[in-house]
Amino acid sequence: MTAEPDRPLLAVLRGERRDPPPVWLMRQAGRYLPEYRALREAKGGFLELCYDPEAAAEITLQPIRRFGFDGAILFSDILVVPQALGQHLWFEAGEGPRLAPVLLDGLVDALVADPARLAPIHATVRRVVAALPPATTMLGFAGSPWTVATYMVAGQGSKDQGPARRLAYRDPQAFARLIDAIVGVTVDYLAGQIEAGVQAVQLFDSWAGSLAPDEFRRWVLAPNRAIVDRLRALHPHVPIIGFPKGIGEKLPVYVRETGVDALGIDETIDPDWAHGVLPPGLPVQGNLDPLALVAGGAALDGAVARIRAAFAGRPHIFNLGHGILPDTPLVHVERLLAMVRA
């Protein structure tokens, strides 16, 4: 019987401490890399790349070849779930995503679901897994229901997530139907990624910090718990990382109420505070400011040292506090890896 390869990132997600810690970066597959920009120019727009398994697999593998990260994160987008639910998705140049029809009334029942739209993304996973180095962990992901719903209701990104927040207050029953629909598709989507070869998944809740306490419990904690429970029943050995950006002091309750296996923390969180208040032994991921990586020099060196020191006593995955920025110099990424792995 062949022994399973040692995958440091997967080991940390299962509760082991590793020194040095494994490293991957959110949005590591993408536009800061010249090889990505060249492929996009040759192949077409961002969304076309997401649904092209050959191209999406190549993009997922590019940062692994260049930097040797310990994790490969699937190249895709959180808004493929609204497409599977029946919304039309496109990207306006320089302005970001657009979705139609907008769901200001929350009536998701009027949409015609098309879950087959997700099949090319599962095909991407299979291609990547076949090409990954044995020690590299394959990471899948999806958007958390609240964050996905904010785009579905507004039809685009919004500064304060006002349209979705208004709908949730005005008609919580309609909003709950929308959230429930997102939960259902997300569970199926992530289960499909796992069955295609993903070894751990991350739930991105980029707008979790925009809600009042009661709304946070209803629209962030409860739906994420539903996903965790249903996914764990299907695939009990696959770690789930929760990344609720911007929730600050709510991090301990998020961990307790959602049941995630590991917690990603954003750059606004003091790592010493996080280590002190989070459950002992909980794997933590983060939390370098992406702008410190852009700046480089003493700002980068000092931030890396502080994060390493703060989380030395628990399982830790070194990562950014949010996605890598397009203007990040490649030499700064190399410097980061040299420091973490020294």
Residues involved in catalysis: 27, 31, 40, 77, 151
Torsion of CA 180, 184, 190, 193, to 10 degrees: -150
Tokens of 29: 């597959």
Element housing 243 (H / E): strand 240-244
End-to-end alpha carbon distance in the chain: 34
Whole-angstrom Cα distance, residue 128 to residue 75? 10
C-alpha distances out from residue 236 to 14, 191, 229, 288, Å: 12, 11, 9, 30
C-alpha radius of gyration, the chain, whole number:
19
Task: Give the other-Cβ count within 10 Å of 290's Cβ.
Answer: 19
Whole-angstrom Cα distance, residue 220 to residue 239? 19
Q: How many residues does the chain have?
A: 342
At a CB cut-off of 8 Å and minimum separation 6, what does 50 contact?
56, 75, 76, 77, 80, 121
C-alpha distances out from residue 294 to 215, 305, 324, 329, Å: 35, 16, 9, 6
**Do 276 and 297 meet the contact criterion of CB atoms below 8 Å apart?**
no
Whole-angstrom Cα distance, residue 73 to residue 128? 10
Q: Please say whether the dihedral angle defined by the alpha carbons of residues 52, 68, 308 and 201, taken in this order, is positive or negative.
A: positive
**What b-and-e string marks burial along 228-240, b requiring 16 or more CB atoms within 10 Å of the CB?**
bebbeeebeebbb
